[in-house]
Amino acid sequence: MAFPDDVVKDAWELVEGKCECTRSYHQHPDTRCNKKLIWEDRSKVGWGAWDACPIDGIQNHNTLSNCEILCFDCRNRS
């Protein structure tokens, strides 16, 4: 089950439309990825693409505190 639209919108606004990945093994130039994302490119592939992912890995735990906005690259490396 996917995150409800209102949760995704709130998570997107919290991160200001940028990837929030902080995984050290991704070797981001800063401590956070911060790639600029495009709202319309959710669940797509390529530049600006992103998805809302569960932090704890449990797909039906659909709360804002469990929602992480990740760019296509970070999502596929996780």
43-66 pLDDT, tens per residue?
A: 999 999 999 999 987 767 899 999
Residues 68, 71: Cα–Cα separation, whole Å: 10
Domain membership of residue 68 as a residue range: 5-77
Structurally, how many domains does the chain consist of?
Answer: 1
Is-above-0.85 flag for pTM? yes
pLDDT beyond 80 at 1: no
Residues 59, 52: Cα–Cα separation, whole Å: 11
Q: Shortest CA distance to 19 belongs to which of 10, 28, 1?
A: 28
Task: Judge contact between 64 and 7, C-beta under 8 A.
Answer: yes
Give Cα separations from 74 to 6, 20, 24 (angstroms): 23, 9, 11
